[in-house]
Structure 1
Amino acid sequence: MFPKYVLLTFLAVCACLVSGQSYEDKRCKCVCPSPAAVLNNTAGSDRKLYIANVPPNKCNCDGVILPRVGEEVKGREQEFCPRCECKYENRNTTIIKVVVIIVIWVIMLLVVYMGFLICLDPLINKRAKASYQEHTNEEDESSSVGPPLAAMGARGNVLNRVTHQQDKWKRQVREQRRNIYDRHTMLN
């Protein structure tokens, strides 16, 4: 029941975000110097961004910028407009939203899987700690583990096989640490 409520909450949040905000797929983006830079004839680096929803043929200084700053640069349009860079942008926000939702789903699945593994770890380690014996090398391991492996194969218990693999991996890591930090040698 818990994942059902999480799913419903997630879908409600996504629906609110999508419906609460509206983005334009097509826009004209112009970067221009500050009008004061033209009026004072200073070489200032102040740039302003102007964004408007206009057709592609009106994506220029006359269609986007002059209606907004026309009074400030009156009579100096020929100096101001060549300094502006206008670009018409076309994007698909639906695809962006779908990709974001897929990424969130993958992250949620990984979190649920991690929670499952965290819950499963005590069950696996409970049995492993009761029958733990430290091994010094792999020859001793192969000779002393033979009968328990046969018993595990006969029973076919997945938990026992996972526990065995986990114990084997932990022994290998411990041996490798000992070799690297104590003996300063590498395993083959």
Structure 2
Amino acid sequence: MWNKILIGIFIISMVETGLHVEAQYEDKRCKCICPSLSSVLNNTKETERMMVIENVPRLKCDCENVIMPRIADKIKGKEREFCPRCQCKFENRNTSIIKFVVILVIWVISLLVVYMLFLICLDPLLNKRVKANYQEHTNEEDDVTLSGVAGPSVHPMGARSNVLNRVGHQQDKWKRQVREQRKNIYDRHTMLN
């Protein structure tokens, strides 16, 4: 019961907030940035710049039509000094394309996060299989002769397990080579041939 009331209050407050900032998110809008009123009135009460966003036609996007109706009573006769300092720009944008791009980016990032979590969960399973079936090889020729003599793999996982073992062996071999190369380069200052 209380949940429904709270959800209703939340929705009403969101709708009211959306009504108050409607001109800010229109596809066509006029954005005026002006200095503080203290620059014309010679006082230090207000020091912040003024920004006004309003939904007006392109031809009415200027200081006289956007700013003056709001502050005419405050500056009283100093309009000619204040308006040249204002910058008014008419902005035309397509919010539906912006929304589409944002949703697309969020979707791609979510997909990558799910893929990363899948790989994180899969990694221990693959490493467990590779480590359990690991047999240390000292020479590549021994590996070739053993595979020719032993025949096909009789492991329950069959060829798939064999491929994983070979990948694991190659990875371990590569890691050993990298370790040896680092040791030679950093300790002995020589390079492998």
Q: Does 166-175 or 68-77 show the bigger shift?
A: 166-175
Aligned-pair CA distance for 1:169: 3.0
| 1:183–1:79 CA distance, 2 compared to 1 (3 A) | same
Return the letter of the residue paired with 1:126: K
Count residues in correspondence: 164
Equivalences for residues 66-105 of structure 1 within 5 A: 66-105=68-107
- Seq. identity, %: 53
| 1:170–1:98 CA distance, 2 compared to 1 (3 A) | farther
Match of 2:122 in 1: 120
RMSD of aligned residue pairs (Cα, Å): 3.3
Q: Determine which of 157, 163, 181 is the counterpart of 2:159.
A: 157
Normalising by structure 2, we get a TM-score of: 0.69
Aligned-pair CA distance for 1:111: 1.8
Return the letter of the residue paired with 1:143: E
Q: Does 112-121 or 155-164 show the bigger shift?
A: 155-164
Normalising by structure 1, we get a TM-score of: 0.71
Alpha carbons 1:28, 1:88 under 8 Å: kept: yes
Q: Determine which of 20, 29, 36 is the counterpart of 1:34.
A: 36
| 1:27–1:98 CA distance, 2 compared to 1 (3 A) | same
Runs of 4+ in 1 over 3 A off after TM superposition: 19-22, 133-136, 147-152, 155-160, 185-188
Gaps of 5+ in 2: 1-10
Which has more radius of gyration? 2
Alpha carbons 2:33, 2:52 under 8 Å: kept: yes
Match of 1:171 in 2: 173
Aligned-pair CA distance for 1:105: 1.3
Return the letter of the residue paired with 1:50: V
